[in-house]
Chains A and B, each alone.
Chain A
Amino acid sequence: MMKCKYCGGNLTLEQAYCPHCGRPNEEAAQHVKDMEHYKSNFEDTKSDVYEVAEKNTEIMSHMIIITVLVILCVVVFVVSARSWSIHRGLLQFDAGIRQSSYMKQMEQYLEDEDYIGLSAFCDRHYIRPYSSNNNYEKYQLLMEASGAYRYFYESLMKAVTINSGNVSILPGLYENISDYYEQLERILHPVDNDYRAKQYRELPEEQKEAILRMEENEKALLQTYFGMTPEEAENFGTMSNAQKILFLEEKGEVMGYGKSEE
């Protein structure tokens, strides 16, 4: 409540004129002016705030989209880079679940004397004896031996049937033949402190026989396709790696591997 400056009567700010003397209430006019100014400022500020908020929302949504896209890109590239590991992991998991059926299949390969098939099967299904909670440990030496035999046989056959245009790969093949022969020898004649010594002693008979048969096959293949005498094939295992390779090169030369047919 205020007083009229002319007649001293009571006035309120909302009264533009004094109800007693009828003169204008200047403070009310100023009040109205001030209120309009504040209101205008308020509206301006409000629209500024809405505008800024809208812009910030737009920027925020863009940033969220960019973050999501970056995460997706990282996921896609990690999966691409690790696809083989993912595949191996799934195969190992599968091999863990299907132990009994896989071991049955492995026994069948053993019975059929299909050692190369056995190795390919173990590779395809990523059967490894080293994982925990599996019974494949008892096949460890057999898997190693069949793998060595398989790559020995494949390398030997590649050398035997090589075309003259591919002669450059012959030295590599001879090296492979030597390496894989040696791998099998290490299983059959392990050094005392080698882990294979104990494992070989504990092998079931049919597995021992299978590994011996693989050795026999390797010697037969060396005699047949590298012209070795039985004694040379027998002594082949006692040579060093370098000597084996040289010996194979000499024999391969005599057999004419890699030479063009004239």
Chain B
Amino acid sequence: MVNLKSKLKQAQKQRGALLVMNLVIIALCLILFWGTIHMFRQLNDAFSRPAKTNWMENNVQSENYAYLLVNYHEDMAYGGLLSGTKKECYGVARYFEAASMYKAFLQTGDTERAAREKEKMDAAYEEMGDWNIAADSIRERLGLD
């Protein structure tokens, strides 16, 4: 009788331990699932940094040309994406950069380099596509006639 009681207690303890372990396993599985998603997101952020097209378009639309330029340089360092709307956004960035330096060289009387920047502006204007309406805005922001 005594033997049976102690066996019953032991069996109950073991069942309790198994239940707790099962709960721990479920919790660890959930943590691992969430952690794996987080890990892939982090790796994706770290390994793919080209600017999204809509960021660049937003910068063009809100005339944040300096920030557009930052996106452009980072993108080009990644190799760039020479198609579609992004290519036109690159054109706007190049136009802005060339225009800013064109004005600076005109101001300091460096006509040779100013002429080179003007050529870059003209080439970039061709790449701007539908965004060539930004050219006027850029000239106005930079104080270029």
| Residues of A participating in the B interface, judged by any CB pair closer than 8 Å | 48, 55, 58-59, 62-63, 65-66, 69-70, 72-73, 76-77, 79-80, 83-84, 86-87, 116-117, 119-121, 123-125, 150, 154, 157-158, 160-161, 163, 217, 219-221, 223-225, 230
Closest-by-CB residue of A relative to B108 is A220
Give the number of residue pairs across the A-B interface with Cβ within 8 Å. 114
Closest-by-CB residue of A relative to B65 is A161
B128 to chain A, nearest CB (A): 17
Closest 3 CB pairs of A and B: A124-B77, A69-B28, A157-B66
Whether B29 pairs with A116 at a CB distance below 8 angstroms is no
Whether B25 pairs with A69 at a CB distance below 8 angstroms is yes
Whether B46 pairs with A217 at a CB distance below 8 angstroms is no
Q: Within the assembled complex, what's the spacing in Å between the Cα atoms of A248 and B125?
A: 32
Whether A55 pairs with B14 at a CB distance below 8 angstroms is yes
- With A59-B14, A220-B105, A220-B107 as known contacts, state yes or no: A161 contacts B73, CB within 8 Å: no
Q: List 21 A-B contacts (CB under 8 A).
A: A48-B7, A55-B14, A59-B17, A66-B24, A69-B29, A70-B28, A73-B31, A73-B35, A76-B32, A76-B35, A79-B42, A80-B38, A83-B39, A83-B43, A83-B46, A87-B43, A120-B77, A154-B69, A158-B66, A220-B107, A224-B108
User: Which bucket holds chain B's interface residue count?
Assistant: 35 or more
Q: Chain A interface mostly helix, strand, loop or mixed?
A: helix
Q: Which residues of A contact B28 (CB under 8 A)?
A: 66, 69-70, 73
Whether A158 pairs with B77 at a CB distance below 8 angstroms is no
Whether B21 pairs with A86 at a CB distance below 8 angstroms is no
Whether B107 pairs with A223 at a CB distance below 8 angstroms is yes
Whether A116 pairs with B32 at a CB distance below 8 angstroms is no
Within 8 A of A (CB), among B40-55: 42-43, 45-47, 49
Whether A120 pairs with B74 at a CB distance below 8 angstroms is yes
Q: Which residues of A contact B69 (CB under 8 A)?
A: 154, 157
Q: Which residues of B contact A55 (CB under 8 A)?
A: 14
Whether B141 pairs with A161 at a CB distance below 8 angstroms is yes
Q: Within the assembled complex, what's the spacing in Å between the Cα atoms of A224 and B73?
A: 23
Within 8 A of A (CB), among B57-113: 62-67, 69-70, 73-74, 76-78, 96-97, 100-101, 103-105, 107-108, 110
Whether A62 pairs with B77 at a CB distance below 8 angstroms is no
A46 to chain B, nearest CB (A): 15
